[in-house]
Amino acid sequence: MADQRIEPILAERASPGASVLPAPVVVAMPEARRPTRLGQLLEREHILAGALLAPTLIILALFIAYPFLLGIWLALSDKVVGRPGSFVGLENFRVNLNDSIFLRAFQNTFIYTFIATILKLILGMLAALLLNNHFRFKRIVRASMLLPWIVPTVLSTLAWQWMFDATFSVFNWSLMNVGLISKRILWLGDGVLAMGCLIAVNVWRGMPFFAITLLAGLQTVNPDLHEAAEIDGANAWQRFWRVTLPLIKPIMLVVVLFSMIATFADFQLIYVLTRGGPYSSTHVFGTYAYEIAMRAAKLGQGASISLFLFPFLLTVIVFQLWYIRRND
Amino acid sequence: MATRESSASLNRRAFLGVAGAATGVAVAGGIPAMVAAQKAPTFPKGTKLGILEWVSFVPASDVEFKRLAAEFGKLAGVDVTVDLINMNDLNPRIASAIETKAGPDIIMMISNWPHLYADGLADVDDVAEEIASRDGAYYEHNKKVSVVGNRWKAVPLCSVPSTWAYREDWFKEAGAGKFPETWDEWRKVGVALKKKNQPMGQAFGHSLGDPNNWAYSVTWGFGGSEIDQSGKVAINSKETLEAVKFTVAVWKDCLDEGGLAWDDSSNNRAYLAGTISATINGASIYFVAKRQFPDIAKVTGHAQMPKGPGGRFYNIGGQGRAIMKSSKNQQVAKEFLRWFMDRPQYEKWMAANDGYTVGPTPYWEKHPLWERDPKLIPFREASKFGRWPGYPGPPSRKASEALVKYILVDMYAQAIKGMKPEDAVKWAEVELKKAYTA
């Protein structure tokens, strides 16, 4: 397959000092349309690859890399709306670490993310196991499971706000009518309880994603394996723990990691329900960064609050990629 | 009904007659002059004007604003666009307009926003001062929030004052023929009302309007303040401590304990549902009651904030309209504001608001709309007691930071939840010092 056209070049490379060049070899080529200059360029593999990748790279650079780098610059500057910022190093981060509301938001972000993710996993798994069985109206039930996840968050959260309302809560009304409580519960009026409500709504919204994805995983498990385990005397729990779980572990891990990233960065749900109140007890990074950057117009400080998420999200993503590669 | 309307319109005509005579001198330039002189518009064909407004809590206000903007467009030969967005979305839109140097030419400003966005706003000294020379000096809070340094960064447009909306019938039954004048009297009535399961209502959650209304107004009323006149943090005073102790006490004795979970709309709903007997609010409760709950409207009265040892105050920043520094249509924008604030136009807009807004100068206290419904008169008076966040210090970006961090609101809320009042005040002092030195 060696191309005779390159022989002269190879010959020259072999004897760079030679003063006399070997006579060029003329090869009769079949008559063909001469490729254009562009065509010639695209024949080179690295140029073609670059050209094909360029649109994606440009989009990534414009919409991912640039905002990200701008975010880093803002976090290191004293930028406020309308004024050019100047570099202040890590000053914004120092201010954050000295801010009791920020520290509360920091703590809340982790509590919110971890508790909500664990609950979504457990409930999602239970729902997936139930949905994996045959029953009447299976398709309708499966489709309706996804509703909380499909409905726009702001819309569904407004409904929850009404259900948690201090005066008109349907929960309080029901509990009072069945005689379980005599005094209304102020769902969003207490820091701990309000955080519990936020987690509950997040679980309600995110659980269907877990359920449907895990259900897809469950359906790939070969029933013969269960049958074999049953013959060997394994009970239902052992079959789940020793057969099902190891087989769907990869998909489970991916779902958990995706969910963690989304929950870490949650904003809408908390902003609609409590805006970080009462007494700043339910702020998370997203809501506090918004207040500082948008309402106090301190873009630099706000960016530094958001950027606190980055190391944690990066760790999660690196772990995720490592795990997926290992399984490949 | 017809008689009332015709009498109101006669009054309005009479008022406009006087207003027109008074305006005669002021109509020296801009669109009013064009109209008076039947001149053709002076702006080049294709000139555009973009205006960004909130979605008002009074729908008729938006309708009238749009109608007036369209009228200006016809007179001036300008293509006017009015965008209405929710109040909560205004901050991000303003930030993006200033940073990208694109977007609307005129943007609504609430409270001390002109200080927050001063670097992106054009000077409007000529328009603002012209209005003041015609209608008289602006209310202090309207002026303070609009002037940054010594330049006008917004043209004061109005205030949206709050008063106490209260159930006159329940107050009478509790022994109060009229709304209490002082906080001590207020507490006595409040105790009696709560015993009858008719508590008053006040929000202490995170919501920019109502919770801050209490936090700032009551602190000032007891003689406290977050900073002094020089801008030094002064929250840790015996006056503030008294205000916090009072709030903790009345939380148990007088107020609906749902308030910690309330936002700006919760008290409206609770009042209209008959679960609270009084609350601080704009006129929106009364307007909705008139439309949907006439029985409640009949027994609803409005009254001023009780007086404390420090006086009577409201946290009213007022509203203005600012022109973007990056706008290429600054001249048209100024002409619009000049024309809109001119009496014949402003009068119509104010009438559409039906008492929800108060003009930026005492001149508008004479407007006949205040005679239409005596129940609304306290709103007209409330503007006189209006102060800005950071009072008695100057309005500033830092005062905004303290506001958005809900430092004063949280000081009260934490004390209500059991923190010692002394500790709550100290906590606020630490946080305010950070906000004011950052």
Query: Each residue of A202-258: pLDDT tens digit?
Result: 999 999 999 999 999 999 999 899 899 999 999 999 999 999 999 999 899 889 988
Q: Of A206, A205, A226, which Cα lies nearest the Cα of A133? A: A226
Q: Is B122 helix (H, G, I), strand (E, B) or coil?
A: coil
Would you give the DSSP letter of residue B304? P
**Pairing state between β B314-315 and B386-387:** parallel
Predicted TM-score (pTM) of the model is: 0.85
B120 touches chain A (CB under 8 A): yes
Strand ranges, E, within B147-251: 147-148, 151-152, 155-158, 163-167
Whether residues B85 and B103 share a domain: the answer is yes
**Pairing state between β B48-54 and B106-110:** parallel
- Which token pair is B266? 């919760």
Show residues of chain A in contact with B97, CB under 8 Å. Answer: none
A194/B438 Cβ within 8 A: no
The predicted pLDDT at position B27 comes to 39
- Which token pair is B32? 């009013």
- Which token pair is A214? 């895990």
3-state secondary structure labels for all residues of chain A: CCCHHHHHHHHHHHCCCCCCCCCCCCCCCCCCCCCCHHHHHHHCHHHHHHHHHHHHHHHHHHHHHHHHHHHHHHHCECCCCCCCCCECCCHHHHHHHCCHHHHHHHHHHHHHHHHHHHHHHHHHHHHHHHHCCCCCCHHHHHHHHCHHHHCCHHHHHHHHHHHCCCCCCHHHHHHHHCCCCCCCCCCCCCHHHHHHHHHHHHHHHHHHHHHHHHHHHHCCCCHHHHHHHHHCCCCHHHHHHHHHHHHHHHHHHHHHHHHHHHHHCCCHHHHHHCCCCCCCCCCCHHHHHHHHHHHCCCHHHHHHHHHCCHHHHHHHHHHHHHHHHHHC
> What's chain B's length in residues?
438
Show residues of chain A in contact with B120, CB under 8 Å. Answer: 81-82
Whether residues B336 and B375 share a domain: the answer is yes
B431/A296 Cβ within 8 A: no
From B368, B385, B402, give the residue that closes a domain: B385
Whether residues B189 and B131 share a domain: the answer is no
Whether residues B119 and B51 share a domain: the answer is yes
- Residue B149 to residues A271, B361, B391: CA-CA distances in angstroms? 34, 21, 16
Backbone angles phi, psi at B407, to 5 degrees: -65, -45
Whether residues B57 and B10 share a domain: the answer is yes
Show residues of chain A in contact with B397, CB under 8 Å. Answer: 80, 296-297
Higher pLDDT, A15 or A261: A261
Whether residues B339 and B400 share a domain: the answer is no
For residue A282, the chain B residue with the least C-alpha distance is B206
The predicted pLDDT at position A22 comes to 56
Whether residues B69 and B147 share a domain: the answer is yes
Would you give the DSSP letter of residue B401? H
* A96 pLDDT more than 90: yes
Count how many pairs of residues, chain A against chain B, have C-beta atoms within 8 Å.
Answer: 123
Residue environment code for B79-117, b if the CB has 16+ CB neighbours within 10 A, otherwise e = ebebeeeebeebbebbbebbeeeebbbbbbbbbbbbbbb
Q: Residue B64 sits in a domain of what CATH number?
A: 3.40.190.10
For residue A101, the chain B residue with the least C-alpha distance is B405
Backbone angles phi, psi at B15, to 5 degrees: -60, -45
Show residues of chain B in contact with A165, CB under 8 Å. Answer: 261, 266, 269
The whole-number average pLDDT for the span A293-312 is 93
For residue B204, the chain A residue with the least C-alpha distance is A278
B269/A168 Cβ within 8 A: yes
Chain B residues 349-408 within an 8 A CB cutoff of chain A: 397, 400-401, 403-406
**What is the tally of structural domains in chain B?**
2
Decide if B203 contacts B210 (C-beta within 8 A). yes
The predicted pLDDT at position B35 comes to 53
Whether residues B420 and B302 share a domain: the answer is yes
Helix axes A245-264, A310-327, angle to 10 degrees: 160
Chain B residues 179-238 within an 8 A CB cutoff of chain A: 204-207
Distance from CA of B90 to the nearest CA of A (A): 9
For residue A78, the chain B residue with the least C-alpha distance is B438
- In the predicted model, residues of chain B with pLDDT beneath 50 are 1-10, 12-28, 38, 40
Q: Is B307 helix (H, G, I), strand (E, B) or coil?
A: strand
B263/A275 Cβ within 8 A: yes
Q: Rounded to an integer, what distance in angstroms lies between the CA atom of residue A205 and that of residue A223?
A: 31
Show residues of chain A in contact with B203, CB under 8 Å. Answer: none
Note the pLDDT tens digit of each residue in A157-182: 999 999 999 889 999 999 999 999 99
The whole-number average pLDDT for the span A276-283 is 94
From B351, B367, B385, give the residue that closes a domain: B385
* A14 pLDDT more than 50: no
**Nearest by CB to B117, which of A81, A274, A275?**
A81
For residue A185, the chain B residue with the least C-alpha distance is B258
Chain A residues 240-299 within an 8 A CB cutoff of chain B: 274-280, 291-299
Decide if B281 contacts B267 (C-beta within 8 A). yes
C-beta neighbour count of A258 within 10 angstroms: 15
The predicted pLDDT at position A141 comes to 87
**Nearest by CB to A279, which of B119, B207, B410?**
B410
User: Domains, chain A, ranges and CATH?
Assistant: 99-327 (1.10.3720.10)
What's the burial of A259, exposed, middle or buried (CB within 10 Å: 0-12/13-18/19+)? buried
Higher pLDDT, A31 or B75: B75
Element (H, E) at B427: helix B421-437
Complex prediction ipTM: 0.87
B99/A184 Cβ within 8 A: no
Show residues of chain B in contact with A101, CB under 8 Å. Answer: 405, 431
B205/A274 Cβ within 8 A: yes
The whole-number average pLDDT for the span A60-77 is 94
C-beta neighbour count of A15 within 10 angstroms: 11
What's the burial of B199, exposed, middle or buried (CB within 10 Å: 0-12/13-18/19+)? buried
B438/A278 Cβ within 8 A: no
Confidence class for position A32, pLDDT limits 50, 70, 90: low
A193 touches chain B (CB under 8 A): no
Show residues of chain B in contact with A167, CB under 8 Å. Answer: 256, 258, 266, 269-270, 273, 275
Whether residues B253 and B349 share a domain: the answer is no
B248 touches chain A (CB under 8 A): no
Q: Of B412, B91, B397, which Cα lies nearest the Cα of A271? A: B91
Q: Of A120, A159, A100, which Cα lies nearest the Cα of A283? A: A100
A91 touches chain B (CB under 8 A): no
Whether residues B13 and B121 share a domain: the answer is yes
Q: Rounded to an integer, what distance in angstroms lies between the CA atom of residue B137 and that of residue B157?
A: 13
pLDDT averaged over every residue in chain A:
88
Return the ∠ at Cα A218 (arms to A217 and A222), rounded to 5°.
Answer: 110
Whether residues B144 and B223 share a domain: the answer is no
The predicted pLDDT at position B227 comes to 97
Chain B residues 398-427 within an 8 A CB cutoff of chain A: 400-401, 403-406, 409-410, 413-414, 417, 427
For residue A302, the chain B residue with the least C-alpha distance is B401
Domain limits for position B128: 2-158+316-385
The whole-number average pLDDT for the span A276-296 is 94
From B367, B385, B403, give the residue that closes a domain: B385
Show residues of chain A in contact with B257, CB under 8 Å. Answer: 186, 189
- Residue B71 to residues B31, B35, B75, B76: CA-CA distances in angstroms? 11, 12, 6, 9
The predicted pLDDT at position B5 comes to 39
Whether residues B71 and B220 share a domain: the answer is no
Query: A295, A299, A304: which to substitute to probe chain B, counting the most B Cβ within 10 Å?
Result: A295
Q: Rounded to an integer, what distance in angstroms lies between the CA atom of residue A119 and that of residue B335?
A: 59
